[in-house]
């Protein structure tokens, strides 16, 4: 404290001593070149058309995050002149060697500076932009290309994806492992269908089962769609099969943290493993066990919920809710999940009779930009080279279907599905995708399930 006070006094005395010569901050300040702030190619005095004769401390123009001067007083060894002062105002070459910087969007950056533009750019030592050449998740050119093209859907720039690479998107926003060949070969369950059975042209599960179809979730930067889509489908199915008596929003976090055998939490997981867990162990509600793995943490949070058998296949929780405000730690289970055939009609019939289904989806760069309409994978990213062609496996909840008349008179059939990227993405968190053509493999692996609902779960008369 005393030391500080002394320093302050010294400073005051120095100020008084100097005030006779009026030394200003400007004189004391370091030259603009001493911190590597030297913009070789910029035009400053010229752009502002200012050259002041004599000293004029107001004769400045903005220079990066500071100011530079265009008056004669700046012509000294420690200079705060704008870099083009000598050439523009005095007509002589600058007395300092020009360090080559990099120019970008009308600005110059000193060598070694890094500059991020979307996901992508840094300045190198040689005055050349060394572009990292990565495929960005949001790409203005691609958004424009989709919106200009006649693809039947519109693209948008999502701020939550801005600055991420496509690689980041695939690594942190998806998270379903492709079903193994044995799982793929799981016996398909066939719906009893009359070959000429007529199904409605439009179907929306939320209209048929009001209050029982849960809103789209948000997995954040957690590659755990395996857990999110499973919890989403199971929540709806349990609500429907209990005729609305129970309508739990099940906890993806319970699966992420506790279903760890051969699963990798927010680094991806298998659907068959998730369904096994839901059947054998069961999960609590999202309110009881809220989502906390928002950031893709290297270490998964430990499991905070366990269950034990109470006989007759039912289980009960052995721990309190991780959320201390919630007391109900009821465990919800399902029956074994079943795979549907890839037939469009059979998937429709299953949806109509039993509720939403789970489907895998192969996600390409353009899907991240989806805003509205009927999605089909477009060739716009393909043209930008192999880095833009990467894709990854995701899983979603199909909730309905419909069809739309195109201007040329053709009918475009679609599925409606809930994604898990929040409700600000797509059509309120949902998307529509071409139906009957296995678009992005959406009809390849479709799963249904029954809630385990016993008589005692049902309303008593």
Ligand X SMILES: *[C@@H]1O[C@H](CO)[C@@H](O)[C@H](O)[C@H]1NC(C)=O
CB of 312 to ligand X, least distance (A): 53
Angle CA 52–55–56, to nearest 5: 65
How far apart (Å, rounded) are the C-alpha atoms in residues 381 and 167? 14
Q: Which two tokens stand for residue 193?
A: 């269908």
SS3 (DSSP) at 13: helix
Nearest residue (CB) to ligand X, 10 versus 78? 78
* Burial tier of 412 (Cβ tally within 10 Å: 0-12, 13-18, 19+): middle
CB of 111 to ligand X, least distance (A): 19
Identify the active-site residue in 394, 430, 438, 460. Answer: 394
How far apart (Å, rounded) are the C-alpha atoms in residues 451 and 455? 12
Site string for ligand X, 218-247 (x = CB under 6 A): ------------------------------
**Active-site annotation holds for 419:** yes
Q: Which of 49, 65, 133, 194 binds ligand X (CB under 6 A)?
A: 133
How far apart (Å, rounded) are the C-alpha atoms in residues 161 and 155? 13
Binding segment for ligand X (CB under 6 A), chosen from 115-123, 167-175, 310-318, 362-370, is: 115-123
CB of 142 to ligand X, least distance (A): 8
Nearest residue (CB) to ligand X, 120 versus 267? 120
Binding segment for ligand X (CB under 6 A), chosen from 133-141, 224-232, 304-312, 371-379, is: 133-141
How far apart (Å, rounded) are the C-alpha atoms in residues 188 and 231? 22
How far apart (Å, rounded) are the C-alpha atoms in residues 282 and 274? 10
Among the listed residues 111, 99, 349, 335, the one whose alpha carbon sits nearest the alpha carbon of residue 233: 335
Of residues 137-166, those binding ligand X (CB under 6 A): 138-140, 157, 159, 162
Binding segment for ligand X (CB under 6 A), chosen from 117-125, 226-234, 276-284, 447-455, is: 117-125
Q: Which of 131, 184, 193, 406 binds ligand X (CB under 6 A)?
A: 131
Rg (CA), the chain: 31
Nearest residue (CB) to ligand X, 161 versus 226? 161
Q: Which of 30, 95, 200, 313 binds ligand X (CB under 6 A)?
A: 95
Nearest residue (CB) to ligand X, 43 versus 147? 147
Consecutive H or E run containing 231: helix 225-241
The H-assigned helical ranges of 355-455 are 365-368
Angle CA 361–175–444, to nearest 5: 25
Binding-site ranges for ligand X (CB under 6 A): 72, 75, 95, 117-118, 120, 131, 133-134, 136, 138-140, 157, 159, 162
For the annotated catalytic residues, the residue numbers are: 394, 419
């Amino acid at each position: 404290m005393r030391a500080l006070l002394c320093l302050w006094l010294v400073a005051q005395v120095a100020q008084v001593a100097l005030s006779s010569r009026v030394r200003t901050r400007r004189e004391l300040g370091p030259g603009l070149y001493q911190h590597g702030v030297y913009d070789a190619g910029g035009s400053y005095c010229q752009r502002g058309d200012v050259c002041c004769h004599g000293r004029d401390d107001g004769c400045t123009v903005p220079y990066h995050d500071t100011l530079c001067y265009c008056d004669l007083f700046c012509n000294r060894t420690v200079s705060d002149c704008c870099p083009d002062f000598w050439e523009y105002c005095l007509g002589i070459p600058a007395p300092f060697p020009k360090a080559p910087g990099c120019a970008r969007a009308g600005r110059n950056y000193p060598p070694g500076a890094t500059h991020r533009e979307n996901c992508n750019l840094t300045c190198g030592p040689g005055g050349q932009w060394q572009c990292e050449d990565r495929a960005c998740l949001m790409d203005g050119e691609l958004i424009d290309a989709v919106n200009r093209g006649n693809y039947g859907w519109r693209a948008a720039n999502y701020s939550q994806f801005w600055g991420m690479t496509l690689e980041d998107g695939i690594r942190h926003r998806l998270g379903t492992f492709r079903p193994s060949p044995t799982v793929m070969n799981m016996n398909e369950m066939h719906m009893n269908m009359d070959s000429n059975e007529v199904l409605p042209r439009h179907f929306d599960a939320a209209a048929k089962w009001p209050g029982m179809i849960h809103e789209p979730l948000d997995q954040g930067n957690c590659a755990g769609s395996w857990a999110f889509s499973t919890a989403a489908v199971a929540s709806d199915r349990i609500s429907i099969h209990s005729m609305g008596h129970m309508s739990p929003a099940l906890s993806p976090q319970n699966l992420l943290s506790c279903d760890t055998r051969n699963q990798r939490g927010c680094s991806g997981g298998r659907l068959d493993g998730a369904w096994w867990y839901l059947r054998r162990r069961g999960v609590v509600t999202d309110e009881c066990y809220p989502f906390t793995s928002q950031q893709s943490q290297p270490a998964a949070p430990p499991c905070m919920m366990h269950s034990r058998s109470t006989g007759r296949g039912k289980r009960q929780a052995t721990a309190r809710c991780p959320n201390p405000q919630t007391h109900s730690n009821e465990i919800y289970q399902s029956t074994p999940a079943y795979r549907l055939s890839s037939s469009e009609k059979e998937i429709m019939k299953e949806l109509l009779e039993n509720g939403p289904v789970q489907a895998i989806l192969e996600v390409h760069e353009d899907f991240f930009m989806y805003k509205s309409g009927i999605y089909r994978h477009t060739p716009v990213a393909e043209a930008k080279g192999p880095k833009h062609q990467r894709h990854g496996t995701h899983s979603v909840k199909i909730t309905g279907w419909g069809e739309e008349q195109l201007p040329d008179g053709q009918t475009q059939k679609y599925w409606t599905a809930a994604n898990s990227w929040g409700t600000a993405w797509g059509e309120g968190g949902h998307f529509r995708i071409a139906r009957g053509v296995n678009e992005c493999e959406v009809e390849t692996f479709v799963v249904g399930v029954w809630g385990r609902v016993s008589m005692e779960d049902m309303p008593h008369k």
